[in-house]
Structure 1
């Protein structure tokens, strides 16, 4: 694996399409970014730009292959990548999770620009013990260039390739208790940090809290350190009423986790206060779930250390 360090992982490859306005529009609509310099020529020129520009964070999107194109990619374009992945798989590092992406931008891209990307291996760590299993951190550097060969951005991309940890079988004590019912498995632990600790602590008390900017009073979820509307770092919380509607949903069948019942209805619920929450719907058949269906808050005490908000269909009052 050391031989890969400094070597080319993916040869310089052009994006399938030049930078274009339709993709920019789709991106900003999906992200909720209302900056007019991305869609309005006059607004962009008023800032000193020659015209509309693409959001900087789109740089990787311009070089991504579509699903149909993936199978027809040039063998030489990804030979290094495939060889490294094959070697890691051979060592048992068959699972992957992205851990870090560091982007540096040199200039804004504009419609008509053509973007090429080349990726080299910067570092492969010694084997590390992690909560997911023993693995190696693979750091690569992607360099994005335009049609003139000028660097427009770089991306340092770090992934953990790990060997999934295996559960040790319970020891046979010879007491004949191996047929006794085992405790149900725990739900996966949420990633708790400084920004969302308050939310999970409130959930333990069966209180659904919504973060609120104390400067402009905008509500936001998921929690974050900074208001996306005014940039203020000051915030408090309000308690949600517990009423909402199904904004969107999926029915999950696979892969199965022993802590969840299946089929599992995963819903995006729009609360009465306006924010949205990813949650589960309980006691409702998947075929009965509808968009805009009213739901009410309930609580799932998954285990002594974890309580989560879930929702059930709202009971409609019938008046004589």
Structure 2
């Protein structure tokens, strides 16, 4: 267990609670509508005033998952509203970095909610440095896990009311030294295969379709709607009468990430993974091939192609359509 001289000073920050970070705006219908459009959320409780009036709330409310968004600084870093604290709740990470732990990776983000947030409320949050681990060695390197808790409140006459909480844990570490290449020998090197998906009675039709060169999307015979990923019940009408529709496999790139590190065999890197909006209306994640990741653009037209790996696993991948 590490016992560095500087640790006691850094650990003295644990338990400290930092002042308020205010939201720029009151909770409002315009921002709720825009967030729902971006996230693809169509619950009328958030955007339809007439529908919301018939519910227990009597008016539209904000999506719970939107809680953190209200108190973000916006386009410019650390541009917080007047009245917000000028303390730096991340100073513990800065101090650890100064001791030779330059890298950081988020390992946990747990958002919980006490109640729905209503229109017109003004929110703020405070930050508590909850924990700092002993020095740990992982596959990424050696460092410290630091846990922060952001508590969100609504300003009220009298005592403010807590509406939610975000637990955020990061790993501040010294990157592990890259292993030196092993010289090839005559001994056989084990081949690492692609991991196989978990297949159940609810998803077997999808993987059977891949083997047959078909992109099969689950279809509800009761309400005639599609859904993905497959489920034992229709998410729209809760019917158990399900079959599948064969998609044409055309769509557009709704979102994407490019994996660089850690490099996990047998995948190639950089490894682009997209969220594809099919023309039939559903989205599915899949690997993207046939393009330099730097040339990927949201809205780009894509078409499915099936590739077989290890002579046993057929996956739907997507390739950009040529102009």
**In the alignment, is the contact (CA less than 8 A) between 1:98 and 1:160 conserved in 2?**
yes
Is the Cα contact below 8 Å between 1:56 and 1:105 reproduced in 2? no
1:197 is displaced (CA, Å) by: 9.0
> Is the CA contact 1:203–1:308 (under 8 Å) kept in the aligned structure 2?
no
**In structure 2, what is the equivalent of residue 311 of structure 1?**
318
Instruction: Write the deviation string for residues 249-285 of structure 1: whole angstroms up to 9, x where unpaired.
Output: 7796x969876477x8765434465422333443468
Partner of 2:46: 38
Q: Using the alignment, how far apart are the partners of 1:45 and 1:162 within structure 2? A: 48
Partner of 2:75 in structure 1? 67
Contact kept, 8 Å, 2:143 with 2:172, in 1: the verdict is yes
Q: Secondary structure at the match of 2:125?
A: strand
Identify which of 170, 173, 178 aligns with 1:160: 170
- Which is worse superposed, 275-284 or 144-153? 275-284
1:6 aligns with 2:12: no
**1:65 Cα shift?**
0.9
Q: CA 1:78–1:96 in 2, change beyond 3 Å: closer, same or farther?
A: farther
Shift of 1:152: 3.1
Question: Any stretches of 5+ residues in structure 2 without a counterpart?
Answer: 1-9
Match in the other structure for 1:245: 251
Question: Which of 169, 184, 207 pairs up with 2:180?
Answer: 169
- Matched with 1:151 is 161
How many residue pairs match? The answer is 303
> What TM-score results when the alignment is normalised by the length of structure 1?
0.69
Q: Does 1:25 align with 2:36?
A: no
User: In the alignment, which residue of structure 1 is the partner of 2:303?
Assistant: 295
Classify 1:71/1:29 alpha carbon distance in 2 versus 1 (closer, same or farther; 3 Å).
closer
Q: Secondary structure at the match of 2:36?
A: helix
**Distance change >3 Å, CA 91–CA 242, structure 1 → 2:** farther
The whole-number CA distance in structure 1 between the counterparts of 2:89 and 2:66 is 23
State which of 62, 86, 96 in structure 1 corresponds to 2:105.
96
Identify which range, 133-142 or 238-247, moves more after superposition: 238-247
TM-score, normalised with respect to structure 2? 0.68
Q: For 1:81, what is the secondary structure of its paired residue? A: coil
Q: Retained in 2: the 8 A contact 1:203–1:307?
A: no
Contact 2:123 2:154 in 1 (8 A): yes
Q: In the TM superposition, what is the alpha-carbon distance from 1:145 to its structure 2 partner?
A: 1.6
Cα RMSD (Å): 4.8
Deviations 1:76-108 (A, max 9, x none): 8363423211123235262212424041314x3
Per mean C-alpha deviation after superposition, the further-off stretch among 82-91 and 306-315 is: 306-315
